[in-house]
Structure 1
């Protein structure tokens, strides 16, 4: 599939993806991609997920897990992806206009009705898990909730090596690739939303340096790959780290600040480039198990429009900045 053919293939997609292809790959005028983006609320994936919102503002009756979920089932069935946080993540990543949920008073309803499964804590205050707090920070910024306290939480819980680890509550003092990347995404959303917050910017730089000193791929002490998951490209990204997921973050971060790509990303770029198939597409990897509302991408081994979009955009950014 030639480059133009790949773009045409990507454009034949749900509005949640199509508007991003128009803006970032096809060079469409703002009026074109903005019109497509507006359709997220009324067509396709976005409209379907909006219809599933509960009257009390939640999805599936829970904050991170569906109401009544049997936690023992995680071992056999995987993490369910239907509750409030995962649904908000999807709508935000698909580009839904936040006014749609603001008009539904979603922030206020969640403040009144949604509590974390951990210690019954109030939703917009976050809890103790770095990844959960990162998503709540990003979703709160997007919807206009007061989540500045969560940004401060990340400053207080950064580990000595510069990153974060959800297992800090169990005593871990070493950062995690997964937790650090998710923390960085949440802090980037906060950092992008208003005047530069110097402590938040410094924390992001620290977390970025944690990953960059490891070339986004390797253990610092041994130089070995950090895990088999680093090369497993799958959409939705969910919580799991991969080279592509990390590069997608760094692209957004560096573009916001006007920085050129860091050469320490080269090995990760090479990994993404090597995964491109002869027809110019990227295949779905091993997907994350668990209940979802409805599928938004293909089965493992099939060409993925979401991954092809993300990987093409990352490589375009890298190649144009070198």
Structure 2
């Protein structure tokens, strides 16, 4: 995909930052999202642009070291899940969506995390709730047993997109139940009331990082249908296309939201590449690529 000079210049700024940045820590799930100029956000932006190979190997090595040595490999739900040693108490705690984003970046780069850090894939498969999704809120596993769409998508994508062998029976259940969860929620709706859970999800977002929008859910269902040889939920996808209509132009799909909105709860310092690729109202070539894939699959199934 051709990029303009301003984006190429901004990519170079991020590459220099990643190559020279000695620290690699995203902070907690709550506080880390205000630090938009950390190494994690530069890497995630490049990954979502399809430019993961431009990430310096030194930054990849630091990210992998963070997962290997400085991350507590257990999602804390029960008292016994907490670290006990002073060394372990200093480690980073992850939630499902953050861990999945880390995993996808490193796997896309060429790391074999399933061999080197097998606990990550096991983490995703272990924490699927009975409704088919996951939830980064620990109390969901002891009280409500209800999933979060935001928490669900990154782990589903991680297993679906980064398995270069036949899926295991456990993985097929994970992926199929995740698809069922999205279908039952009509991508953006409460299963009980049928109302849209969050109207912001109708606004295409780029880069997304951990965030959800309707296009992300639609893209998962299309790729799940293809890789699992399952029927495409065409009516639901057509409904999704209708919900996206106001953002579609002849040249592609316009950005409708910024996850790092300076006026929002997660506002903070940004960086040139993030500013270049995330302007609200701009047609995003990256979102357009996803939309085109959905349209092509709908046409293919319609013409069969």
What do you get for the CA RMSD once the two structures are aligned?
3.4
Which among 159, 162, 168 is matched to residue 190 of structure 1? 162
Deviations 1:27-66 (A, max 9, x none): xxxxxxxxxxxxxxxx54543322111447x6xx232249
Structure 1 counterpart of 2:91: 121
Deviations 1:270-298 (A, max 9, x none): 21245323x44433213122432212325
Are positions 1:181 and 2:153 aligned together?
Answer: yes
How far, CA to CA, are the matches of 1:301 and 1:209 in structure 2?
32
CA shift for structure 1 position 178: 0.6
Which among 173, 190, 193 is matched to residue 222 of structure 1? 193
How far, CA to CA, are the matches of 2:208 and 2:62 in structure 1?
28
Q: 1:79 to 1:109 in 2, by over 3 A?
A: closer
How far, CA to CA, are the matches of 2:252 and 2:16 in structure 1?
32
> Would the aligned equivalents of 1:63 and 1:115 in 2 still touch at CA under 8 Å?
no
Are positions 1:155 and 2:125 aligned together?
Answer: yes
Structure 1 counterpart of 2:85: none
CA shift for structure 1 position 258: 4.4
> Would the aligned equivalents of 1:284 and 1:299 in 2 still touch at CA under 8 Å?
yes
Q: 1:299 to 1:84 in 2, by over 3 A?
A: closer
TM-score normalised over the length of structure 2: 0.74
- How does 1:246-285 map onto structure 2 within 5 Å? 246-263=217-234, 264-277=236-249, 279-285=250-256
CA shift for structure 1 position 159: 1.2
- How does 1:206-245 map onto structure 2 within 5 Å? 206-245=177-216
Q: 1:298 to 1:110 in 2, by over 3 A?
A: closer
Comparing 92-101 and 225-234, the one that deviates more: 92-101
Question: Unaligned stretches of 5+ in structure 2?
Answer: 77-88, 262-266
Q: Using CA pairs below 8 Å that are at least 6 residues apart, which structure has the higher relative contact order?
A: 2
Are positions 1:88 and 2:68 aligned together?
Answer: no
> Would the aligned equivalents of 2:46 and 2:55 in 1 still touch at CA under 8 Å?
no
Structure 2 counterpart of 1:131: 97
How far, CA to CA, are the matches of 1:112 and 1:269 in structure 2?
39
CA shift for structure 1 position 12: 5.5
Structure 2 counterpart of 1:62: 24
Deviations 1:156-185 (A, max 9, x none): 211121110111257552101111112211
> Would the aligned equivalents of 2:190 and 2:196 in 1 still touch at CA under 8 Å?
yes
Are positions 1:13 and 2:3 aligned together?
Answer: yes
TM-score normalised over the length of structure 1: 0.70
How far, CA to CA, are the matches of 1:139 and 1:168 in structure 2?
25
How far, CA to CA, are the matches of 1:197 and 1:321 in structure 2?
27
How far, CA to CA, are the matches of 2:294 and 2:186 in structure 1?
16
